[in-house]
Amino acid sequence: MHDDRGLVEARLKRVLDERIRPAVYSASVPLDVAVWNAPGEPVPVAEGLAAEPSPITVGTRWGAPWGTSWFRVTGTVPAAWAGRTVEAVLDLGFDENMPGFQCEGLVYRPDGTPVKGLNPRNQWVRIGAPAEGGEEVRLHIEAASNPVILDYHPFLPTELGDKETAGTEPQYRLARMDLAVFEESVWQLVMDLEVLGELMPELPADSARRREILRAVDRALDAVDLQDVPGTAAAARARLEQVLATPAEPSAHRISAVGHAHIDSAWLWPLRETVRKVARTTSNMTALLEDEPDFVFAMSQAQQWAWVKEHRPEVWAKVKKAVADGRFVPAGGMWVESDTNMPGSEAMARQFVHGKRFFLDEFGIENDEAWLPDTFGFAAGLPQIIKAAGSKWLLTQKISWSQTNTFPHHTFRWEGIDGTRILTHFPPVDTYNCSMKGSEIAHAARNFKDKGVARHSLAPTGWGDGGGGTTREMVAKAARMRDLEGAARVVWETPEAFFTKAEAEYADPPVWVGELYLELHRATLTSQARTKQGNRRSEHLLREAELWAATAAVRTGFPYPYERLDRIWKTVLLHQFHDILPGSSIAWVHREAERTYAAVAAELNAVVDAAQRALAGDGTAELVFNSAPHARHGVPAGGAARPVCGGAAHLRPREGGGYVLGNGLLRVEIDERGLVVSAYDIGADRETVAPGAAANLLQLHPDFPNMWDAWDVDAFYRNTGTDLVEADLVEPADLVEPAGPGAGTGTAAVRIVRSFGSSRVTQVLSLAPGAKRLDIDTEVDWHETEKFLKLAFPLDVHAERYASETQFGHFHRATHTNTSWEAAKFEACNHRFVHIGEPGWGVALVTDSTYGHDVTRTVRAADSGTTTTLRASLLRAPRFPDPRTDQGVHRFRHALAPGATIGDAVREGYRVNLPERRVTGADAAVAPLVAVDDDAVVVTAVKLADDGGGDVVVRFHESRGGRARATLTAGFPLAGAVATDLLERPVAGGRTVERTGDTVSLALRPFELVTLRLTRA
């Protein structure tokens, strides 16, 4: 037989595009349309429905950027259509290639009942099949004219990302507003032909199955009368029945399709628009569930569920019913799909606490899976947090985006820093927006790396990012691939059903140890510095507020602000979403975040102040409150007392220019350029700075990645750079205020001023009495574009690996680039510290707000010694999606600690992030509410139990990577102590708590995380 594949496939494409798809609607009449444009921000539904609209015609432009237009459409079903299926086709001016990234709408009945959402791939509303003609149709559309930010030429700077700069030019042209006859048989024929047409090119060219499909399609097209498609669709379908009924091979891959709409809680739209995106999507999905009995939909992010409950109660009622039916599934058990690299220990824990508690309170549902398809890599501390929250599975997809290395597994056990292992799945479909295309399903089957030992994978199915969800077309395609030769077997299932099957069939999966590093989007550790600083400050203020409010509640009867803290935690957790905290959202989002963080800080400072004043009492004595987990200046951790200060620091001119700072522990030489040429550890008789090098060196690089401007920094940025060595001013600094937390009045300091480009840097380098660290306070007035600013420390340290803090511990990375896996980690995340050491001696760099860093090593030709250079990432200046990212003044605090152990790094990291607070009160110390006698055991939270019962909850972990034995002493009469999970529930079969009186004895494994609930006598 002659090979006519190309001929038939081309025929199929044209006939589908030009004849069959257009025939899905065989007859139509226009609707009458009127519009009312809401002034300012969106209005309540009742106001939009009651507004008086003005006539508008198809073809008219509408919708200023970020505006809301309320369309009223009215019409009459023609008498000739009696008994036929009628739909309203409502095209607001959609581009079908951009579902979720442009205008959208939510359709209401006149009484305010939501019907369904409108988006580029979902433009229809079912009217019904009236027995008689003449039925009146009246619908209202709340239409959002969200501008297109990520256009066909992506990553171009645009002012559309903020309502304040977007202008008023209409964004869309009304395209179609009709009543139409929906031809069910034609639509089903389209689905048949699409499934078969997409399956064919995925099969081997010489396979019998491909030829069978080709011949069947050819015969079906012969049966179609191109002038009467509706009248001949059934005959065409009949010629496809046999080829569609051929069952799949027994060895076919199994795909659990999960209806999904990955909705970014903010990204190329503000938070307020996400509230509406969620309402549109959930309206669509509840409607689809009613029409499709096999369909199952899962939605993560408790915050989004809470938005529906708060803002769209009429939608919430439908959602609750679908949940009760078991088909609308709460997934993930987190407040939002957060970044997992940068959130601190407690914040990461609270993502699960607040997320799981919401689903438990609302539906009685406990999530066993964490659901994070789009998060930009996963910190090594996450597995034990997932387990401590009572979950056991993790799903993500984003690692498939890695640029350099292909991850070797799709189903595996992920081991965290403490040894906890979590069954993890990466869907081999390589998208969290699966649309049931034949190419996607075939790719999942081919790509699945665990073939031979497992055969199940998951496919999150539906339009996401900007929402929309699953469509009826996706459900129809999945039905045809339930048991179809040549395709994977597709069935709709819940995440729980998938993981249960995957776990059962794969009893001994491979293990991956350590972080799941995404070899992409590395610059999200630095972009939008104010957002990152707001997050870090909020996390530590929440720690302080809980600690002092709990202490004051137990000691003085101070009213513990349960609801206030709950609300603030949820606000902070929301802003850890994986496009807010990483700095990859539009200007509007980050401008709003800055205001929110300022309000959070004011409110939490008020809580702290009130609680500390209640504890301090009346008097004129100055007490220092220490909220860090280690004693400082004689003040115990979690207590208050008069500080014990001693020693002195001095400053003198340096020979050749500059100054020398000393305090008996360190001698620091700052040259005439304001660079640190020596940081000498006197006790260890050891130099910190590499020979011939200079630390505190600001370095400026060009920064124009190949794509994803705010997200990415590409390795070639290092090819070119400028050392900022010229100083405008180097002089002694008289500190009106201490240069950093813990700095005293006897502190010696030097001020350095530099100018470069359009920017200016002012630094204060200070050495406090009794401190074995150099504090570095950097203020940058930043006005560069597409530049990357680093702060470098070349260290005379020989190390093949280094440690950076992560949740509930630290993680080691290589300093070398032996393999492509190590070379790809050229920008990495730290929390409060990075530590580089040799046996017996090390150096730490601690920070109050930066997360990105890089570490490189070279061998010096002169002495064959190793120089290990640590650089903190300070600022970037990408132009997309915010064209003015980080312009303005920023302040960073770092400290270089020569001779530091890991324990010293932990301590100094908390010091720089938790300044001591001075309060006037009675001349009496405030004893800690809870004390631990081993500094290796770090307390991350002291609070009252969330249930309001008055118990004290304390969470702690071993922080140095070793074993620890410690005694925890309660500062109140103790009636009982029990180990709990993160939700403060006793753990069945968990650790036994050894209590003697008011003390608890503890033995901890490396990095082990423990939560205790202490009952007061």
Of 233, 296, 280, nearest to 22 by C-alpha is 233
DSSP label of 19: I
Within 13 Å and on the Cβ side, how many CA atoms surround 11? Answer: 15
SS3 content of the chain, % helix, strand, coil (to 5): 30, 30, 40
Q: Is 60 helix (H, G, I), strand (E, B) or coil?
A: coil
Alpha-carbon distance of 802 to 689, in angstroms, equals 17
Do 913 and 540 touch, CB atoms closer than 8 A?
yes
Which residues pair with residue 812 across a beta bridge?
A: 803
CB atoms within 10 A of CB 906: 26
Q: Is 446 helix (H, G, I), strand (E, B) or coil?
A: helix
DSSP label of 831: S
Alpha-carbon distance of 559 to 557, in angstroms, equals 6
Q: Is 721 helix (H, G, I), strand (E, B) or coil?
A: coil
Backbone angles phi, psi at 869, to 5 degrees: -100, 125
Do 595 and 588 touch, CB atoms closer than 8 A?
no
Alpha-carbon distance of 91 to 534, in angstroms, equals 41
CB atoms within 10 A of CB 439: 12
Query: Please, what is the angle between helix 208-223 and helix 5-15, to 10°?
Result: 40
Q: Is 144 helix (H, G, I), strand (E, B) or coil?
A: strand
State the DSSP string of 872-915: EEEEE---SS-TTTT-EEEEEEEEEEET--HHHHHHHHHHHHS-
CB-count exposure of residue 359 (10 Å: 0-12, 13-18, 19+): buried
DSSP label of 577: B
Alpha-carbon distance of 858 to 867, in angstroms, equals 5
Tokens of 769: 């009495």
Of 587, 589, 594, nearest to 885 by C-alpha is 587
Alpha-carbon distance of 1005 to 956, in angstroms, equals 12
Do 775 and 893 touch, CB atoms closer than 8 A?
yes
Q: Which residues contact residue 346 at a Cβ distance below 8 angstroms, ignoring those fewer than 6 apart?
A: 539, 542, 543, 940, 941, 955
Between β-strands 421-425 and 393-395, what pairing exists: parallel, antiparallel or unpaired?
Answer: parallel
The kind and range of the H/E element at 353 are helix 345-363
Alpha-carbon distance of 445 to 503, in angstroms, equals 18
Do 234 and 225 touch, CB atoms closer than 8 A?
no
Alpha-carbon distance of 661 to 649, in angstroms, equals 7
Of 413, 306, 441, nearest to 361 by C-alpha is 306
Alpha-carbon distance of 270 to 450, in angstroms, equals 40
Do 964 and 958 touch, CB atoms closer than 8 A?
yes
Residue 973, Cα to own-chain centre: how many angstroms? 42
The kind and range of the H/E element at 874 are strand 866-876
Which residues pair with residue 170 across a beta bridge?
A: none
Alpha-carbon distance of 671 to 291, in angstroms, equals 75
Active-site residue, selected from the candidate residues 178, 264, 374, 848: 374
Tokens of 491: 């069935």
374 tagged catalytic: yes
Q: Is 448 helix (H, G, I), strand (E, B) or coil?
A: coil
Alpha-carbon distance of 195 to 243, in angstroms, equals 11
Q: Which residues are catalytic, by number?
A: 374
